[in-house]
Copies of this chain bind each other. A is one copy, B any other.
Amino acid sequence: MIKSFYPPMRTLMGPGPSDVHPRVLAAMARPTIGHLDPAFVGMMDEIKQLLQYALRTDNPLTMPVSAPGSAGMEACFVNLVEPGDKIIVCQNGVFGGRMKENVERFGGIALMVEDAWGDAVSVEKVRAVMEQHDDIKALAFVHAETSTGVRSDAQALCRLARDYGCLTIVDAVTSLGGIELEVDAWGIDALYSGTQKCLSAPPGISPVTFSERALDKVSKRNTRIPSWFLDKTLVMGYWGGGQKRAYHHTAPVNALYGLHEALVMLQEEGIENAWKRHETHHEALRNGLEAMGLQMSVAADIRLPQLNSVAIPEGIDDAKARGQMLENYGLEIGAGLGALAGKVWRVGLMGTSCTRRHVMLCLDALENTLLEQGAAIHAGRAAAAAAAVYATQNK
């Protein structure tokens, strides 16, 4: 007989999920009600408003897809790409590659703009491709590459796309709530995100927003959308607003309770304060890591505060070290992905996992684990270096 499952106590400082606040956990345990209950429909409207607030948009099509970020990605591409459409896809990590898969599976032609893992998307390379073709339908890129810890210049890329008359499809899975993100001001046309990163809501939901221009493209399709579940023209019958909601699918009721609570907490803090908090704790962590003698593997001007790629020192057994931190500290940090496997660790400071407590625990765990493996690092300096940053910030 299989017994009830009780998860071990963990501190989540990997690439997501981040720690979920007790308020959000408690919200998920509230009694399930019907997905068409008037009280539930009222909560859906609030989620929509809160997402518009967090995404800085007035787009009426702003809603949580009832599935993880990779389904949110698919929701954008399956609605916006038709067979033969040329889409510029920028790849500078894992998720650009997944975008390419999406474009091609829906019959589109992916024009790849590749940059090294650890670099930002090159605006100039994108411009060059736009110059070569006059029928590009959309530019797709990742704002915050979770696989490398790199921020690309979403504002400049969106401006470029507007100049050349094409739509933008933006992966904001790791950026939402952690760094500046301005859907309307930057002119983003389609965006998907995740709940388990800087929002610190439970994983499994993907906030999505579409601009009027994006909806216009959907309404003018010549071919049918090859998905029923993700067809935005249908989903909006349920999420669209007004008193009358058409049944489309059964919403993940309790997960949405959790998302609602996490968004209420974000609103209480203020989105700009949340951005500042991520910056502050990132500075403290970086200063501590560098004082220890570790190197940040991403250049300072394109570093994500919420996802810190740190070079693994020579001679360290990656998996063993992460295993020891999990065992001894209950601390999860992320492994490198793809080309960066074994070369970097990814230390998340996302949402509820972005506090001084997290920074200090992580520095202590890293220092002691590396010392145990005989790494040549500076012992006893990291905590003071981090504290020095907090002193400056009056934290």
Q: Contact residues of A with B, CB < 8 Å?
A: 1-10, 12, 14, 16-17, 19-20, 23, 25-35, 37-40, 43, 46, 49-50, 66-71, 73-74, 78, 98, 101-102, 104-107, 194, 196, 202-205, 224-229, 247-255, 257-258, 260-261, 263-264, 267-268, 326, 332, 337
Contact A252 B203 (CB under 8 A): yes
Contact B267 A46 (CB under 8 A): no
Contact B204 A252 (CB under 8 A): yes
CA distance A337 to B390 in the complex (A): 59
Contact A252 B249 (CB under 8 A): no
Q: List 10 A-B contacts (CB under 8 A).
A: A4-B261, A7-B257, A19-B32, A20-B31, A68-B249, A74-B227, A107-B226, A203-B251, A227-B227, A252-B252
9 A-B pairs closest in CB distance: A204-B252, A29-B29, A67-B67, A70-B249, A20-B32, A202-B254, A25-B29, A203-B250, A68-B249
Residues of B contacting A66 in the complex (Cβ-Cβ under 8 angstroms): 67-68, 71, 204
CA distance A334 to B203 in the complex (A): 30
CA distance A257 to B25 in the complex (A): 12
Contact B10 A37 (CB under 8 A): yes
Residues of B contacting A67 in the complex (Cβ-Cβ under 8 angstroms): 66-68, 71, 229
Contact A257 B17 (CB under 8 A): no
**Min distance, Cβ A313 to any Cβ of chain B, angstroms:** 23
Contact A255 B257 (CB under 8 A): no
**Min distance, Cβ A44 to any Cβ of chain B, angstroms:** 10
Residues of B contacting A25 in the complex (Cβ-Cβ under 8 angstroms): 28-32, 254
Given A6-B30, A102-B228: 13 more A-B contacts, CB < 8 Å: A2-B264, A3-B264, A5-B27, A7-B30, A9-B31, A17-B253, A32-B202, A68-B250, A69-B250, A70-B249, A194-B250, A203-B250, A205-B252
